[in-house]
Amino acid sequence: MQVFSDIEEFRNRTGDGVKTAVAIGKFDGIHKGHRRLIEEITSCKEQGIGSLVFTFKSPIGDFFTKERSKVLSTEKEKISLLEEMGVDYLYLMKVNKESVSYAPEYFVKDVLCQGLGAAMIAAGCDLSFGRGGEGDMALVNRMAGELSFEARMIPHVMYKGNKISSTLIREAVLAGRMEEVGEMLSRPYSIEGEITYGRQLGRTIDMPTANVIPEDDKLLPPFGVYFSRVTVGDETYRGLTNVGIKPTVSDEDKVCVETYIYGLDRDIYGKHMSVGLLHFVRPEMRFPNIEMLKKQMHDDSIKGISYFEKTEKI
């Protein structure tokens, strides 16, 4: 997948004759609704039309609030997920004074059609874009005839009577309802990064752990212990993960995602790890001493074995 943030660079690298099927959206989390959009644009490959996801390099709201909000998927995660799904091009629009002031008609004609070669534009029925969010699917449909592109409106994907959205998923993450999050995403909610050295306390109790420091803008669930699915390279393992600051053994406020990986007996420091959170077990706790922490960790690991045996039989 090729990634761009500049129209001229896109034209130079793809050529003037390129035709694309464009999906527009925020694509935070890449949930089931987003996947439906992506299926729509990748289906055009048989016609020689490349699939292009158009989204934003940073949340638009951050430009107006001057704050950095938390996201369901970081830029690295977004790129990885879209590449796995077979998307040809990802366009990350820079959010600045100029781009947030685009007239909707200019955005469709000059940016999408002339700039990115849109032969088809797909979006959800609640699409809004351009200056003040004035653009919508009605405008896209009107301009489709004028500019000779195809417009496709994708209906909402529902979950338990509610429209699946990044906002709904964010609420579930913050409440620790990881099963619901996993169903709406079609995959476990994951935190990724390079495995780093920690205090190595786990080695002293036969429960060595692998540590990942989440990116600053990653939305985290409540601090606590989770059953998890861990991927290192091409291998997947069962895991027991603590998300938090480890108050029993550290006085720092540095957040860490620390995972005991069942059955792993080799050195994986420095490798990339993805930790998919499956089920919230208990809140993070400060124990009076290390011995009580060790006992709780062992109890949690035994519960984990039972959890995985039950869920993997379903």
Q: Domain holding 233: CATH number? A: 2.40.30.30
The confidence band for 305, taking pLDDT boundaries of 50, 70 and 90, is very high
Range of the domain at 257: 188-311
The confidence band for 314, taking pLDDT boundaries of 50, 70 and 90, is very low
- Tell whether 264 is covered by a domain: yes
Whole-number mean pLDDT of the chain?
A: 91
Task: Report the candidate in 85, 92, 79 with the shortest Cα–Cα distance to residue 24.
Answer: 92
Predicted local distance difference test score (pLDDT) of residue 201: 57
Q: Looking at the structure, tell me whether residues 198 and 268 fall in a common domain.
A: yes
The confidence band for 164, taking pLDDT boundaries of 50, 70 and 90, is very high
pLDDT in tens, 197-207: 765 554 555 67
Q: Looking at the structure, tell me whether residues 198 and 56 fall in a common domain.
A: no
Q: Which of 159, 180, 204 is the last residue of a domain?
A: 159
- Tell whether 174 is covered by a domain: no
- Tell whether 222 is covered by a domain: yes
Predicted local distance difference test score (pLDDT) of residue 205: 53
The confidence band for 67, taking pLDDT boundaries of 50, 70 and 90, is confident
Predicted local distance difference test score (pLDDT) of residue 246: 74
Q: Looking at the structure, tell me whether residues 75 and 195 fall in a common domain.
A: no
The reply to whether the predicted model has a pTM over 0.85 is yes
Helices of type H across 133-248: 137-147, 166-174, 178-185
Q: Looking at the structure, tell me whether residues 128 and 200 fall in a common domain.
A: no
- Tell whether 164 is covered by a domain: no
CB atoms within 10 A of CB 29: 27
pLDDT in tens, 202-233: 455 567 889 999 999 999 999 999 999 999 98
Residue type at 247 in one-letter notation: P
CATH number at residue 114: 3.40.50.620
Contact criterion met (CB below 8 Å) for 182 and 147: no
The confidence band for 174, taking pLDDT boundaries of 50, 70 and 90, is very high
Write the CB contacts of 307 (distance below 8 Å, at least 6 apart in sequence).
227, 279
- Tell whether 178 is covered by a domain: no
- Tell whether 171 is covered by a domain: no
Percentage of the chain beyond pLDDT 70 is 94
Which of 94-108, 135-149, 175-189, 236-250 is predicted least confidently? 236-250
pLDDT: is 266 or 34 the higher one?
Answer: 34
Q: Looking at the structure, tell me whether residues 150 and 273 fall in a common domain.
A: no
Q: Which of 139, 159, 179 is the last residue of a domain?
A: 159
Structural domain total, the chain:
2
Predicted local distance difference test score (pLDDT) of residue 250: 62
Averaged over 170-199, what is the pLDDT?
Answer: 93
Q: Looking at the structure, tell me whether residues 136 and 204 fall in a common domain.
A: no
Q: Is the pLDDT of residue 123 over 50?
A: yes
Averaged over 35-45, what is the pLDDT?
Answer: 95
- Tell whether 152 is covered by a domain: yes
pLDDT: is 238 or 200 the higher one?
Answer: 238
Q: Looking at the structure, tell me whether residues 64 and 194 fall in a common domain.
A: no
232: helix, strand or coil: strand
Q: Looking at the structure, tell me whether residues 63 and 196 fall in a common domain.
A: no
Averaged over 271-283, what is the pLDDT?
Answer: 95
Helices of type H across the chain: 7-14, 32-42, 60-65, 75-84, 104-106, 137-147, 166-174, 178-185, 290-311
Predicted local distance difference test score (pLDDT) of residue 158: 95
Q: Looking at the structure, tell me whether residues 16 and 119 fall in a common domain.
A: yes
Q: Looking at the structure, tell me whether residues 277 and 239 fall in a common domain.
A: yes
Q: Is the pLDDT of residue 106 over 50?
A: yes
- Tell whether 175 is covered by a domain: no
Averaged over 269-286, what is the pLDDT?
Answer: 92
C-alpha distance from residue 138 to each of 48, 174, 298 (Å): 27, 34, 58
